[in-house]
Every structure is written in structure tokens, then in C-alpha cells.
Amino acid sequence: MLKYFFSLLLACFCVKNAQALQPLNIGAIFFENELDLERTFIATVESINAARETNFKLLPLIRRVSETDGSLILQREVCDLIDNSVVAIFGPSSKADSDIVSVICNATGIPHIEFDISQEETGEEKINHQMTLSVFPAQLILSKAYSDIVHSNGWRKFTIVYDADDPKAPTRLQDLLQLRDIHNDVVRVRQFRRGDEYRVMWKSIKGERRVVLDCEPDLLIDLLNSSIPFDLTGQFNNLLLTNLEAHNANLEVLRDNETFALNITAARLKMNGNFYNTNPWQQASLYNLDELPEQPMRTLLHDLLYDAVNLFTNALRNVSYSYQIRPPRVRCDFSEYGRRQPWAMGRYIHRVMLATSGVNNTDYRTSDLQFGEDGQRINFGIEIFEPLDNYGIAFWDTKGQIVPQHVVVSNLKKLRYRVATRIGEPYFMEIPEMVEQNVTGNERYEGYAVDLIKELAERMNFEYIFVPVADQQYGKYDPTTKQWNGIIGEIINNDAHMGICDLTITQARRTAVDFTVPFMQLGVSILAYEQTVEPKALAFLDPFRAEVWIYVLIAIFVISFLFVVSARIAEDEWENPHPCNKDPELLENKWGLFNTFYLTAASIMQAGCDMLPKSAPFRTFTAMWWIIAVIIPNSYTANLAAFLTSSKMVNSITDLKSLVDQNEVKFGTLKGGSTYNFFSESNETVYRLAFEMMKNAEVSAYTKDNKEGVERVLSKAGKYMFLMETTSLEYNIERHCELRMVGEKFGEKHYAIAVPFGAEYRYNLSVNILKLSETGKLFEMKNKWWKNKDGACEKNDDGDSSAMGFAEVRGIFYTLFLGLFAAYFLGICEFLMHVHSRASEEKLRFKEVFVNEMRFVLRIWNNRKPVSCTPTASLSASSRRSSNRTIKSSKKKNSRQSSSSSKELAELASIKVKKNGRVVKEDDV
């Protein structure tokens, strides 16, 4: 019984409180075709009343108007609501072309809450709209949001398309349209009107890869379908939808269309909770309504109207805690007689609403609800999402921050990239066999870049097609046309998704495109012709001219003969042939022609001689010859060193500085390439001087490609040098043995893959390039394409470039071999004559003596030789042989004394006698 008693007591208390709730009228103005909004308004009010969290009860008063009604009708309806003592007025939507509601509310002090987009107010309008508050995001802040999204995507070139009949579109796109005024060449604007032939508009921007589209959701399908024939819906096209209702455009019908493969991103107001994935009309409890037979489409206005009613209710409840709220007693009479003071409590409620913060407040559907002093909503969040599959990508806030969402999306479509490149060894080359067979596609090409893209495609699971640029240029900006050419131009114009070849990262190019991490590091160096002169066999004779050698040889023979004459007239040069015999019968003079020639040659060769003159005249003559013998070898040595140095240094160019310090050898580089820009933009003295010399050359020093530069170096044979990147330089040196690199590399550079700004695949490309580098795959690919398959050139890599090789000194060895041949030829002849003589003397066969002599010759360890070949040879034969040898020896000595006849020598010997230790004639005895 006690339990039932307390239940009855609680029920009576609740009934009493219900009867005590103060009724407050709130008004709303809707157009006749906005029944869904009207139901939302009623449902929201009823849900608030049902919650019983306030000490008042809201009574909705609704007035309907037609789109054709003017401001007078609106004024009448507003005044009717005010006459019914409403404490707030909601609406109308943006279809109203008059601000009469705001003006009347401002005059009467009735709070006015807008839930739809409104025109940007001027200074005078703000004075008359002081009681108006809008929960729709401010247009200028929305404009900033769209601009931030475009910049975060890296769009530098795009087209803005919007409805010319929408007067609010220019304000909503203000920041983007300002870019058009600054960069008219890269930001274009196109307008359309409902019911136009949209294909005309799309045709004017055919091929555009990035489009910002602002239109009503019901026009999206027709607009996008009409753009398909103009290459605007391809796989790598990008579309940004700025209408906050784009999620209601039913774009899912385009998901399975193969021709509709572009990347779409859209913006919508950020919600508290997962409201975009549920239909509130299907959840009747949300609005406290029964399920309707036909569920209306949920729009942003439903949520904003819900927030507007709850915003006012929360402010009213907060005020009711401190003050008793009485219905306003104001009249919509602006004559002097009927004018009354505005409702003071209304202005206070308005200030409370302005101070309300919806940040982290789940009472509201939209997030971050906050207002400025003029009643405009200045804080809100934007969700960037993909409308086809309805998943979020990132969140934008009014601070300009874009925070990505961590979502996992299964993409079954295999990407197909267009890769811009240029033909150039060894990065990208046509296969001759494929060209002859007219093969098209990727199978037609080979090279380092082909292998690199193939590796990346396997790792990242994408398809690709190579697109060689028509102008064969890397990418240079033309200030006249304000356009980029080459590979960079293809990427900027969205005709390619990436660019690869020997493409250098430069500051100018970084302003137009983005780059991955480098896949190759390099520098700049000088390509020169290897001016090697084949050494002559008699190169050791080059320090002296031919006439000098002739004079030296003549001098040797003449001096040798004069030495003989000088020795013969000098008494001190006549000597006793047998020192043990104190009284010789004959004197001999050792300075025959052979000995004097040996003395002369040994002196000039600085070899020394064991025979020296004794007489003063002869010594004086010899000393004078020695002076010449000192000068000649030393002059030869000095000239030989200079000759070797000059032969090794074909020219004196060892680096860039020595190259610019001379005028004989011309040099150049690739026109418009990164090396050209490096010299043209450098402030280094040597680099600037080099650029000026190339610029002012009589014959153009520039080439259209590296191949032309290499051919010019080869054809000029040392009169032209080419400044090029070291990777290409190494490749050409490997295949042309006549080429060499001069000096060290300078100006560090990097090759990388160029991609458009904001390309989402750039990060994956960079990561996989680093993986290829870490695993050594990049090094393997470089060796594959840089090493000459036909065999590398043989380079002399000796440390000392001035060292002489065999080619320079082979003439000396030739002379030695000739001397050895002559010596051994004479020795063999003498040996054979000796064998023949012994065979005759000992009466043996020639073969027997020859064999015995050769056997002894080959026994190099035996230094003793028997006199006779047979042990039984007679002593007389030996004595006779010894006597004959003595006679022969005496004859040889006498023959070397003079060139006179044997008869004169005999007479001279017969008349000479020795007296008192000196040689005198016979008549003097």
C-alpha cells in the first residue's frame, strides 16, 4: 500500500508541474513547398516539450508564403506573428528576396533566427539586422575553407565552374576567384545557367584535369554526364564539389560507369555523430513522429533548423533560470502614434544566443556552433569526403587546419598512370627491332627509366603507359607565353601523371611540380676528347732535331780520327808492349781507331773509359771533347723531360677554371637544361664567366640534346668540350674510348620523378624508391645500363700520369736489340772461323770440333777450357798453334798502331832500337 501511495503522490506532483508550465509562442515562416522543413520544425518543438527539461512550453505558430509573394506579404505574416506575441521567429529560407523579416524583428526586439544561406550583409544592412542570427556558415569563411582545400590538394592550375543564376556563388567562391585575378593563365572561370547546353561550357575546358564545381545537387548528374565526351571524367581527373548538399545528389548511380572514373571530393558540414549514414526520417523517434509512408530526403536545412530551435530553447532556458519570461507586448505599427519600445527581454535573449558555444556540445547536430558579434556563424567544421562511396577523407576547421581521417577503403580499380618522358640514352630508348615491326606501347622502349617504373609498378600495383614528349624537352619556362614545355609542361597541363628521365630537381621546376625522393645523385663535369698521340719507335730521338743527331755522329767519327792523329804525334803515347822486357825492340801505340772511337763514344755517353791519354796535347784535346760530352747529354736529358711532359699533357685544361682561362678550345652545354640554368643563375665568378663565354660564342656553343654535344666533341677532336651531367658523361665515356672526363665534378644535382602538386601517389613512390636503393636494386640497374656490353675501354689508370710506358721507350729497346743482333752476329761469325781454324790445325772434322766447342759453351759452370780438342795432340802442333797465335796477335797489334802498310811497319820496327831506356832510331846509336 505504501508503494502505491508514493506513486500516486508523484503523479499528482507531475500533473501540477505540467499545469504550471508557461506557454510561449514561437513563429516560423515557410514556403508552401517546404512541408518537410515544417514537419522538422514541429517535430523538434514537440521533442523539446516532451523532454520536460524547461519550465515553459513552446507553441509553434507557422505561416506559409508563396515564392511569388513579395515583401508586403512577408511583412503581413511577420506582423501577424508579432501580434500573437511570439518570442522568436524562424525563417524564411533563402528563397525570400527581401530582408523585411530582419528589419521588423530588429525594430520590435524579437529574436530572428535564420537556418539557410543568406546574402553577405553590408554595413548599413547590419544596423537593421541586429536581432538576426544565422546558424548557416558564414559565406566568407566557407570561401576560405574551399581555398584551403584546393591548396592542400596542391592544385596550381584548375577551372572554377558555378551557376551564374546563383547570386551567392561569387561570395562563396571569393578566395578562389581572387586567384583567377592573380593567375589568369592557370585559373579559369566558367559559368552556366540551368537549362543551358552544358556541353558547350565543358568543351571550352576540354582536357582540364582539375575542376571546382559549385551547383545545386539536382544538377550534378546532368552536368557530370555532359562532361564525359570532353575527357573530364578520366581516372586522373579531379573534381571538387563545394555545395554542402552534394551528399544528397545521388552520385552512387555513377559508381559503376566505366567512363566515369574521376576522383571526386566534396565538402559537407561536420556533424556531431554519424548522422550522414542514417536517415532521421527513418528514425521516427528522433523527431517524435510516426514513420511516414514516403520518407523525405534529409537535407542540411533539416539539421540547421533543428540546431536553430535548440539554440533558442537553450538560451531561453538559461534566461528563465534568472528571469521570468513574459510574452512580448509589441505591435507591428511603425507610425509615431503606434510606436512602442522594442522587447527588452528579446534583446537579452539574443545576446545570450550569441554567447552560446556549441563546441563539444551534443545538443546540436552540427559541430562547433559559435557566432560573431554580427550574428554570423564564425565557427564550424567541414568534412571532406568521397561522395561515391561516402567515406570521409579529412576535416577542416576555421583555423585552416586539415586533419586526415584514418579510414580504410578497398579500391578494386587498378590505377593506370601516364608517364611522360623523353628519348635519351640510357634512360629511355627505342628498341630498333620493335621500331621496324611498328610495335606500339611499352614494349617499344627500354632503358633505366623503363626498368625503374616497372619495378615501382610491381611494388605499388599500378599500370602505366609511356608518353614521350613531342618537343624532346625536359621542361623550361617561357616568360613570354607563361607556359612550361617538355615533361614539366605535360604534368602541369595534366597530360601526364608523372615524368621520368634524366630530369634534374631545380628550384624553378619545384615551383611548378613536385618531386619524389631522388633516385640518382650526380654533378656536372667536362667531357673532352682524348688527344692521345701514338708514340714513335724512335721517340727517344725527339729531344734533338735530326740535324743535331747528324752533327753529333759526325763529331764522334771526326774526333775519333783526330784522336788517332794526336796520339801518334805524341811521344808519350808510344809504350813498351812488354813491361818486363827492359829493352824492347818495338814500341806500340794503343790509340788505334777502335780505341779512340770507344773513348769518344764512352765520353759522350758518360760511361767512362779504362784507357786515358798521357800526353799533354792529347789530354787537352780530350778535355775539350769532354766539355761537349757534358753539355750534350745534359741538354738531351732536359729536353727529354720537357718532351715527355708535353706529350702527356695534350692540353693544359684540367678543370673549369683552366677551361675558361683559354680561348683555343670552345665549350658549351645543353640549351635550356638544368646545367644551362645552373650556369646562368650562379653567382660564382668562374661559373658566370663560363656562361658569358658560351653565350657570346661566335658559333652557338649550345646543343639541342646530349647526343649532339657528344658528337660535336668527337668531330672537333679536341677543339670543343661539352659540359654535361656526370651520369650521362660516364655512359658516353664507357662507349667512346676517345672521350674522357676533365677535372672533378661540381654542382651537386639529383634526378627524381616529377609528379603534380598534391599527388597522393608521391609518398608511395618515394617510399618504394628508398626501398629499391636500400636493397641495391638501383645500383644493379645502373650497372646494367651504364656498363658497355661489348667490353669496356682500356684506360691507363696509373697513378702518375707523367710515367713513361713501353710505347715511349721502345725505340731504346729496339736499338739494344739491334746492337745485340750485330754483336752476336759478329760473335757467331768469329766462332765459326775459330772452329774452322782449329779443325784445320788439328786435322779434325769441322762437325767434331763444332760439337766439342758448343758443348763447352753450354757448360756455363766450367770456366776452364782445354787448348786442344784431343788429348793426343802433339806438342809441336800446340807450339805451332801458340806461335801462330802470337804472330797473329802481334800482327793485330801492329795493325792497330797505324793505317800504314805492313811493309812500312816492318821497316819501322827494323830501324828502332832501345837506348838508355828510350826509343831511338838506328842512326843515332
Task: Considering only residues 509 and 577, tell me which one the structure prediction assigns the higher pLDDT.
Answer: 509
pLDDT of residue 335: 61
Task: Considering only residues 133 and 610, tell me which one the structure prediction assigns the higher pLDDT.
Answer: 133
DSSP string, 657-709: HHHHT-SSSEEEEBTTSHHHHHHHH---HHHHHHHHHHHT-SS---BSSHHHH
Question: What percentage of the chain has pLDDT greater than the value 90?
Answer: 29
pLDDT tens per residue across span 209-220: 889 999 999 899
pLDDT at 281 over 60: no
Q: Tell me the pLDDT band of 459, cut-offs 50, 70 and 90.
A: very high
593-604 and 616-648 helices, crossing angle to 10°: 40
3 state SS for 55-96: CEEEEEEEEEECCCCCHHHHHHHHHHHHHCCEEEEECCCCCC
pLDDT tens per residue across span 809-836: 666 667 767 766 777 787 788 888 888 8
Cell of 873: 795432340
Q: Tell me the pLDDT band of 105, cut-offs 50, 70 and 90.
A: very high
pLDDT tens per residue across span 595-653: 888 888 787 777 777 777 877 777 787 788 788 778 878 887 787 777 666 555 445 68
* Residue 566 is labelled as binding a ligand: no
CA distance 187 to 200: 19
Average pLDDT on 115-135 reads 84
Contact criterion met (CB below 8 Å) for 427 and 421: yes
pLDDT at 577 over 80: no
Q: Which of 179, 182, 186, 188 is nearest to 159 (CA)?
A: 188
pLDDT of residue 104: 92
Range name among 276-285, 673-682, 802-811 with the lowest pLDDT average: 276-285
Cell of 483: 607556359
Cell of 520: 640518382
Q: What is the mean pLDDT of the chain?
A: 80
pLDDT tens per residue across span 849-885: 888 888 877 776 766 666 665 554 434 444 444 445 4
Separate counts of helices (H) and strands (E) for the chain: 31, 32
CA 470, 671, 452 angle in degrees (round to 5)? Answer: 55
CA distance 533 to 527: 19
pLDDT tens per residue across span 473-523: 999 888 888 889 999 999 988 788 899 998 999 888 998 899 999 999 888
| pTM for the structure as a whole | 0.59
Average pLDDT on 72-78 reads 91
Average pLDDT on 14-43 reads 82
* Residue 294 is labelled as binding a ligand: no
Helix (H) or strand (E) run with residue 255 in it: none
Average pLDDT on 3-22 reads 53
pLDDT of residue 877: 44
Radius of gyration of the chain (CA): 56
Average pLDDT on 95-105 reads 88
Task: Considering only residues 167 and 902, tell me which one the structure prediction assigns the higher pLDDT.
Answer: 167
pLDDT of residue 919: 40
pLDDT at 393 over 70: yes
pLDDT of residue 231: 78
CA distance 219 to 354: 36
* Residue 509 is labelled as binding a ligand: yes
3 state SS for 434-471: HHHCCCCCHHHEECHHHHHHHHHHHHHCCEEEEEECCC
Spatial neighbors of 882 by CB under 8 A, at least 6 apart, are none
Residue 462 has, within 13 A of its CA and on its CB side, a CA count of: 19
Q: By three-state DSSP, how is residue 508 classified?
A: helix
Average pLDDT on 744-766 reads 88
pLDDT of residue 855: 81
Exposure class string for 364-386: b at 16+ Cβ within 10 A, else e: bbbbbbebeebbbbbbbbbbbbb
* Residue 171 is labelled as binding a ligand: no
CA distance 845 to 304: 138
What are the backbone angles phi and psi of residue 738, rounded to the nearest 5°? -80, -10
Identity of the residue numbered 338: G
pLDDT at 665 over 70: yes
pLDDT tens per residue across span 179-190: 877 666 678 899
Domains of the chain, CATH where assigned? 13-137+299-359 (3.40.50.2300), 139-243+246-280+382-404 (3.40.50.2300), 416-519 (3.40.190.10), 524-532+652-751 (3.40.190.10), 539-648 (1.10.287), 823-863+876-924 (no CATH)
- SS3 helix, strand, coil % of the chain, rounded to 5? 45, 15, 35
pLDDT of residue 53: 84
Residue with cell 807450339: 879
Range name among 78-87, 286-295, 327-336 with the lowest pLDDT average: 286-295
pLDDT tens per residue across span 884-903: 544 444 444 444 444 444 44
pLDDT at 445 over 90: yes
pLDDT of residue 533: 59
Q: Tell me the pLDDT band of 81, cut-offs 50, 70 and 90.
A: very high
Range name among 150-159, 527-536, 679-688, 746-755 with the lowest pLDDT average: 527-536
* Residue 44 is labelled as binding a ligand: no
Average pLDDT on 409-431 reads 80
pLDDT at 408 over 70: no
Average pLDDT on 1-10 reads 50
Contact criterion met (CB below 8 Å) for 172 and 142: yes
